């Protein structure tokens, strides 16, 4: 290995630990391998109900643009914000400021997007650098460590445009770039496939919940003497054939009105002092679960393992209490949880999947968000949801839903575990491939085993 001569006409600050690179690989500044690095309009776009997407930093924190959570703008606003550069396939979206800055994502195919605030558009030269390779390079641990040396000390972390244009990129031949990108993208594709499968499975569970416990479709079908071929006869027997009045409106006859506190134990988290936080695990420390941990594993926090800290498990339901994520429902992660989360644990096992679905239902979310907006800082106390009234069927029907929903949930957990394992392989291979420590032929076998 040898280090290539670097053009001294432009400054190039190399990442630490990258003094030696494979023969025929070379270092370049980002602006030397791009047809442009374009800043966003420094204004907040007016949002619309539908139309082209506006990409914000929170939309790409996983390194992939998530259209399902992105906002929209009008065609007029889109035209204004793309007047300097129209994002197209082969371009990269790059976050330059915010909680998660220095993250790159590809512009998706056949999708209209424009830049939100704190975003940059990178347009690589296609004959010089493969855009998929460049995305992985910019998101690599090598570059994550490098860009954090450019923090400017302000409250909002940011990278200025001259710094971005001068970022170092290690360039192998275009053929090797494409081979490396193929290896890493095959792992990304497996993770994305699992994510989409999980969306389908979770959507099916929500649809069954809506039918049984919100729209009461089986009750209406029985009342109107309609066939219910989608229900097993034993399950159909659990539904009555008529409704009755209650304090929350019409409910199936024989069902009870109960408070949430009767079917789940609601616990608030604890907040250890910041002086005890560590960024890396060590003996005697456990993971602190925060809402941001559900977005990315790149900002983990570890705290002393003491009996005073409340723990969450993978089967627990966690609800975000504060901020922009208020009312968001997540599944538990092994570890302690902090004050910004509430844990909901069912008082009986047969209530577990019902509670998962209920807490994510639009009606509950709307009520909780409305309650949270009473204060200047959006948030709620655990007692706020304890008195919520719901229509509860006999425990036998809870158990029937538990069986159906858990069979779906079990597949979701299997996919999630597989994705975490694949991500671990990708994250281990990525710096070695991008630095030339391991070659594509060696990595191919590892990847094949990971995605089986």
pTM equals 0.78
Question: Cα separations (Å) of 317 from 28, 213, 306, 380?
Answer: 48, 19, 22, 16
Q: Distance between CA 262 and CA 286 in Å, rounded?
A: 31
Is 359 found in the same domain as 293? yes
Could you say which DSSP state residue 186 is in? H
CA angle 69, 137, 132 (to 5 degrees): 65
Q: Judge if 199 and 122 occupy the same domain.
A: no
Residues 15 and 158 reside in one and the same domain = yes
Does one domain contain both 137 and 14?
yes
The answer to whether the CB of 142 falls within 8 A of the CB of 435 is: yes
Tell me if 194 is assigned to some domain: yes
What tens-digit pLDDT sequence spans the chain (452 residues)? 333 334 445 778 888 777 677 888 899 999 999 999 999 998 889 999 999 999 999 899 888 998 888 999 999 999 999 999 999 999 999 999 877 789 999 999 999 999 998 899 999 999 999 999 999 999 988 888 888 766 554 545 678 899 999 999 999 999 999 999 999 999 999 998 999 999 999 999 999 999 999 999 999 999 988 877 678 888 888 999 999 999 999 999 999 999 988 988 888 887 777 777 777 777 878 788 877 777 665 567 777 776 667 888 877 888 888 877 788 888 777 788 888 888 888 888 899 899 989 988 888 888 888 877 765 566 787 788 888 899 999 999 999 999 999 999 899 989 988 998 898 888 888 888 887 788 887 887 787 777 77
| Same domain membership, residue 179 and residue 165 | no
Residue at a domain's end among 153, 171, 189 = 171
Residues 189 and 271 occupy one common structural domain: no
27 and 4 Cβ atoms separated by less than 8 Å? yes
Angle made by CA atoms 281, 283, 287, in degrees to the nearest 5: 40
The tokens for 277 are 């936080």
Q: Are 264 and 351 in contact (CB under 8 A)?
A: yes
Q: What is the pLDDT of residue 8?
A: 40
Q: How do 92-95 and 335-337 pair as beta strands?
A: unpaired
pLDDT at residue 94, as a whole number? 96
Residue 412 included in any domain: yes
Write phi, then psi, for 313 (nearest 5 degrees).
-120, 170
Is the same domain home to 209 and 280?
no
Does one domain contain both 111 and 203?
no
- Residue ending a domain, choose from 361, 392, 423: 392
Upper half-sphere CA count for residue 70 (Cβ side, 13 Å): 24
Same domain, 305 and 399: no
Q: Are residues 262 and 379 in the same domain?
A: yes
The SS3 assignment for 170 reads strand
CATH code for the domain of 36: 3.90.220.20
Task: For residue 322, tell me if it sits in a domain.
Answer: yes
Residues 19 and 61 placed together within one structural domain of the fold: yes
The reply to whether 288 and 381 lie within a common domain is yes
- What is the CB-side half-sphere exposure of residue 246 using CA atoms within 13 A? 17
pLDDT at 6: 40
Domain-embedded: residue 246: no
**Does residue 67 sit within a domain?**
yes
- The pLDDT of residue 295 is 63
pLDDT at 375: 59
Q: Return the pLDDT at 285.
A: 80
Tokens standing for residue 173 = 């031949």
Nearest to residue 101, comparing CAs of 54, 57, 152, 143? 57
Range of the domain at 52: 1-171
Structural tokens at position 328? 């968001």
Q: How many domains does the chain have?
A: 3
Cβ neighbours of residue 24 closer than 8 Å, sequence gap 6 or more = 172, 173
Question: At which of 392, 417, 439 does a domain end?
Answer: 392
């Amino acid at each position: 290995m040898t280090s290539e001569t670097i053009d001294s006409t432009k400054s190039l600050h190399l990442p630490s630990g990258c003094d030696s690179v494979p023969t025929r690989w070379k270092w370049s500044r980002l602006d030397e391998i791009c047809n442009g690095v374009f800043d966003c309009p420094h204004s907040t776009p007016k949002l619309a109900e539908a139309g082209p997407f506006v990409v914000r930093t929170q939309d790409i924190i996983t390194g992939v643009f998530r259209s399902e959570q992105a906002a929209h703008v009008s065609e007029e606003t889109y035209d204004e914000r793309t007047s300097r550069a129209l994002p197209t396939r082969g371009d990269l979206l790059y976050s330059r400021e915010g909680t998660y800055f220095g993250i790159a994502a590809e512009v998706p195919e056949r999708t209209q997007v424009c830049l939100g605030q704190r975003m940059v558009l990178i347009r690589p030269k296609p004959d010089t650098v493969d855009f998929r390779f460049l995305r992985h390079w910019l998101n690599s641990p090598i570059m994550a460590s490098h860009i954090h040396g450019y923090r400017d000390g302000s409250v909002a972390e940011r990278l200025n445009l001259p710094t971005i244009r001068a970022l170092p990129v290690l360039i192998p031949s275009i053929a090797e770039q494409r081979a490396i990108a193929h290896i890493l993208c095959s792992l990304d594709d497996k993770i994305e496939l699992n994510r989409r499968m999980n969306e389908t499975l979770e959507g099916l569970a929500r649809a069954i919940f809506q039918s049984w416990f919100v729209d009461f479709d089986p009750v209406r079908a029985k009342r109107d003497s309609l066939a219910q071929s989608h229900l097993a006869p034993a399950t159909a027997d659990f539904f009555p054939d008529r409704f009755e009045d209650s304090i929350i409106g019409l409910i199936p006859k024989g069902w009870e009105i109960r408070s949430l506190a009767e079917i789940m134990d609601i616990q608030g988290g604890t907040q250890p002092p910041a002086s005890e936080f560590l960024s890396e695990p060590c003996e005697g420390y456990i993971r602190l679960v925060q809402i941001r941990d559900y977005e990315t594993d790149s900002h983990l926090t570890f705290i002393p393992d003491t009996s005073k800290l409340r723990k969450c498990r993978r089967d627990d339901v966690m609800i975000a209490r504060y901020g922009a994520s208020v009312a968001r429902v997540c599944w538990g992660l092994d570890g302690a949880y902090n004050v910004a989360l509430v844990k909901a644990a069912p008082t009986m096992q047969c209530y577990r999947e019902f509670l998962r679905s209920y807490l994510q239902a639009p009606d509950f979310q709307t009520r909780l968000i409305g309650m949270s907006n009473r204060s200047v800082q959006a948030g709620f106390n655990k007692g706020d949801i304890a008195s919520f009234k719901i229509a509860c069927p006999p425990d036998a029907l809870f158990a029937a839903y538990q069986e159906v929903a858990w069979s779906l949930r079990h597949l979701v957990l299997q996919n999630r575990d597989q994705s975490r394992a694949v991500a671990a392989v990708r994250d281990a291979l990525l710096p070695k491939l991008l630095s030339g420590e391991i070659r594509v032929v060696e990595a191919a076998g590892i990847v094949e085993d990971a995605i089986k």
